[in-house]
Structure 1
């Protein structure tokens, strides 16, 4: 049975829905005894991996409590675990885990060498799949019609490879969205919504690195379907879609009218649909997803961080009644939170997946950082995430910062706020979350709106204080008075968010922020350029701090 047939098979759909709701129910039940689940997860990972090289070196066999585990294993990041991971990736057995990694996930970052995240069968079945299935529950519970047809979902992150790159030991080294979980891990129900669409596996050959061409071909096919849901996970991919429709519109119409795909024969010519779409575009003077897919129901992606500033208005491009459903708080390395209901931004801690620890986001993580347990977290505070799971990541600082929104069912609900990296030119120690919140306040108090924004510490003359320059694409034109008020409010709110910023400004060590207003499509064109350079679309995320001169120039040159 191929993917399209699977998504039309009533029995398969019944079993899929049952599995999704079953895993959500299990997670909800586990929340009632979160400390008990933590003890179980810890005992399991210690017992399973006690005989590994890492387990023997750190005395896993003698560890009985979480306090023992904290004493034996330092807080560590990928750099610290890297030598162990490289040994496993080269083919050595029993390094971090008792079972051999079946695949290595790439990191989703856009700078530096791609990480190799070991993914074992035990990790997938114990840690990954339960949370993964549960993540789809709000979508199919509230919008069941998205599963009515294989082509009802446009899954932007689905990108299968026939010849994936490998590690030295021959294991695939790919993104999570490029792995066939059914074949690799014996989970045939795990195929995501949208993976049975006609464009899921492209009928024409395209080079693996030709990401923009692959996106064009999928979009061209999707324009002829009744799409109800778009899955992006990374919201920048969804934000790029309206721009791509307009950018590629003449080519799309010609392909549809001629019955071609990228200029090559594909199906019957459809001049009637092409003419209909042309009339729609002429009537509205632009092309919006809502015009092409009038029965759109939901967008599934991260809804927090920088995206929270532009998603409400972007949602309207897809239709006034379209819902935003938050993707899980998770990384390639493991899950943290998953939405079990219609909460717009936060997910419940996945207590069945890992031993989760936290540290105040204002502090720098060190190997001996004293961590907090989930029950010790305070609502409205930001925290570093540290987790340990059976897949071989122990007290791993993933580099993400989360905010506690509230508590539900016995555990905190968390939303992703940004990376833990800081911008620090004069002792201000600014994090993504602080700047995003300051931007939200300044926008709210001026009534101004934006499409996207980035900032850097601008170069200064010798002896002059550095200051932050914000490059921003307004949603509608900003006048000079509104821009000045926005900067004044932003400066004040940054001081409220960060004592270091407030002190640096008061002491003259940091100059006031400045504003560079860009053209409406500046960020969309920058995103396209990054993908055209060879970076996978899932990896080209919104980036607030952009200190690289070449990347700043690419964003701003010619767009003032």
Structure 2
């Protein structure tokens, strides 16, 4: 197998019981050497903002160099490309399906297909219809771009709490964990970006907690148990920074602490975890937490466990922004900073200052082009010959589709993401993620599309319905959030709404691996079906128009853009 990444420490079976090994000292504390590296990376990123063009030019030359002589390069005549204008003429803008033939050639064992540095693994993410996308990852891309970029954002986090307070402090990193096992595709390792199993070199992102038990994934461990294990293994540590991609995970951590406060106190008193010895007893901490528990009415908070908690980091834009009040409730008064705008295909922005949600474009990590969203069909892909503009031409307040070229072989890739320009950091636009074109909803990273919902309902209906029903999926913000499927329900149908809801739920999980994961970890509630009489959709449209909605707003969506429309359906049922 083509999985020659650095070896794991121990077998999967050994790692599955890693929580039971003694951890009397937390070796994941931040060291001076690591801090120096992160601080230097942050300084470099800030300097790039002052003089970006030389880095843009370097990235362009490197991408051409990676494509030189490859199957893709020959097919597109890239040997004659000298300028960005040449590049745009030679390579059309395309979405992932157009790359699938190249990906398949790699999976079949061909080399020199997209890049001169061949992939050693594929990063897996959910496609627009739930079919996994496989993103090639090469050592060249990992070492020169992806790995080192993470040091810069962590430099900001340490700077924000003070480098002097960071040295010797502990970090709880929930943004990824080392996977306990690999799931190969063809002869390649394949895994989600949040489950990278090992570093590929000394310049890759390798934090001090890389070998820690709490950071290792455990086979067949459920979501809540995993969060509790991390709480227990770091309970006696001086955790000052908590970092996650989705804010829902930090909220889930806080909820686990509240729900299992008694278990944690007992485990600390006995020196156990899941009934096995773990790191020795800590009766002083157990007594302190028990006193706090009694005074506070029974539930511990994160600040009770870690009084020096000084920073919380997560995505904080688009749908994730809905978590701001909830996140503040579980970490009151603790400063918040954003994680980089990171996707499986590449990194778009890296935060370099205290802005709560946005960061400057990562001009040194890829070649970026932009298409204004105004006047475009939000559900349509970009045209292959669409006119694009560069970072210098972006205007504050406007929103753009992103076209991204990376040294991993995704050239002029229609990312599907939209970003709004906030202002500029030096000469580089500061951009905030605004959502995905054609996407219906994504509370916790599930990226539920209209095609997901339409296909799931169609498959669940089978032959039970004599006609195509009207339906729409409505995002419902709650703690945790979920979805309500409003559907016109014909009289006399033998199928019960509850059974139909379970069938649609099953189809959604089969179609969309991200939705399935969020349901498994209970970050989303089960789908609810709201069965309404025939004619309800027309009545709702009339009511909304009477309330001032324009005809464009009354366009039918399989997934609603927000949950406001739910009240119209519920009012229609009460009449």
Structure 1 length normalisation: TM-score?
0.73
1:338 corresponds in structure 2 to 350
Task: Tell me the CA shift for residue 192 of structure 1.
Answer: 3.1
CA separation in 1, counterparts of 2:133 and 2:223?
20
Task: Tell me the CA shift for residue 256 of structure 1.
Answer: 2.3
2:206 corresponds in structure 1 to 191
CA separation in 2, counterparts of 1:135 and 1:284?
36
- Farther off after superposition, 326-335 or 456-465: 456-465
SS in 2 for 1:295: coil
Task: Tell me the CA shift for residue 499 of structure 1.
Answer: 7.9
CA separation in 1, counterparts of 2:406 and 2:55?
12
RMSD of aligned alpha carbons: 3.6
CA separation in 2, counterparts of 1:502 and 1:372?
32
Task: Tell me the CA shift for residue 392 of structure 1.
Answer: 0.5
1:513 corresponds in structure 2 to 565
Aligned pairs for 1:346-425 (under 5 A) are: 346-362=358-374, 363=376, 364=380, 365-423=382-440
CA separation in 2, counterparts of 1:193 and 1:327?
19
1:24 corresponds in structure 2 to 42
SS in 2 for 1:356: strand
Structure 1 residues 294 and 319: CA distance shift in structure 2, 3 A? farther
- Farther off after superposition, 257-266 or 101-110: 101-110
CA separation in 1, counterparts of 2:385 and 2:484?
32
2:273 corresponds in structure 1 to 261
1:165 corresponds in structure 2 to 183
- Farther off after superposition, 406-415 or 154-163: 154-163
CA separation in 2, counterparts of 1:79 and 1:393?
12
Aligned pairs for 1:273-312 (under 5 A) are: 273-285=285-297, 286-312=299-325
Structure 1 residues 337 and 452: CA distance shift in structure 2, 3 A? same
SS in 2 for 1:393: coil
Answer whether contact 2:60 2:367 (CA < 8 A) is retained. Answer: yes
Task: Tell me the CA shift for residue 357 of structure 1.
Answer: 0.9
2:77 to 45, 48, 59: 59
Task: Tell me the CA shift for residue 18 of structure 1.
Answer: 3.0
Answer whether contact 1:47 1:60 (CA < 8 A) is retained. Answer: no
Question: What does the per-residue CA deviation read over 1:427-469, in whole Å, with 9 as the maximum and x for residues that have no partner?
Answer: xxxx99xxxxxxxxxxxxxxxx975655666324434436999
CA separation in 1, counterparts of 2:236 and 2:283?
12
Task: Tell me the CA shift for residue 8 of structure 1.
Answer: 5.8
CA separation in 1, counterparts of 2:66 and 2:352?
29
CA separation in 1, counterparts of 2:142 and 2:313?
22
Answer whether contact 2:179 2:197 (CA < 8 A) is retained. Answer: no
SS in 2 for 1:274: helix
- Farther off after superposition, 303-312 or 326-335: 303-312
Structure 1 portions without partners, runs of 5+: 425-430, 433-448, 470-486, 518-560
2:124 to 99, 106, 111: 106
Aligned pairs for 1:116-515 (under 5 A) are: 116-143=134-161, 144=163, 147-149=166-168, 152-169=170-187, 171-179=188-196, 182=199, 184-187=200-203, 190-192=205-207, 194-195=209-210, 197=212, 199-201=214-216, 206-208=218-220, 210-285=222-297, 286-320=299-333, 322-362=334-374, 363=376, 364=380, 365-423=382-440, 458-460=486-488, 461-465=533-537, 500-501=552-553, 513-515=565-567
Question: What does the per-residue CA deviation read over 1:36-88, in whole Å, with 9 as the maximum and x for residues that have no partner?
Answer: 43333222211231211111111111112222212222211222212211321
CA separation in 2, counterparts of 1:456 and 1:377?
38
Answer whether contact 2:314 2:339 (CA < 8 A) is retained. Answer: yes
Structure 2 portions without partners, runs of 5+: 1-8, 10-22, 442-447, 450-476, 489-532, 570-575
Task: Tell me the CA shift for residue 272 of structure 1.
Answer: 4.4
SS in 1 for 2:279: coil
Task: Tell me the CA shift for residue 294 of structure 1.
Answer: 1.5
CA separation in 2, counterparts of 1:350 and 1:381?
18
2:63 corresponds to 1:68? no
Structure 2 length normalisation: TM-score?
0.71
Structure 1 residues 467 and 327: CA distance shift in structure 2, 3 A? farther
CA separation in 2, counterparts of 1:110 and 1:225?
41
CA separation in 1, counterparts of 2:373 and 2:221?
37
Structure 1 residues 384 and 199: CA distance shift in structure 2, 3 A? same
Answer whether contact 1:47 1:61 (CA < 8 A) is retained. Answer: no
2:524 corresponds in structure 1 to none
CA separation in 1, counterparts of 2:481 and 2:399?
22
1:538 corresponds in structure 2 to none
Structure 1 residues 375 and 452: CA distance shift in structure 2, 3 A? farther
Answer whether contact 1:455 1:468 (CA < 8 A) is retained. Answer: no
SS in 2 for 1:398: strand
2:100 corresponds to 1:82? yes
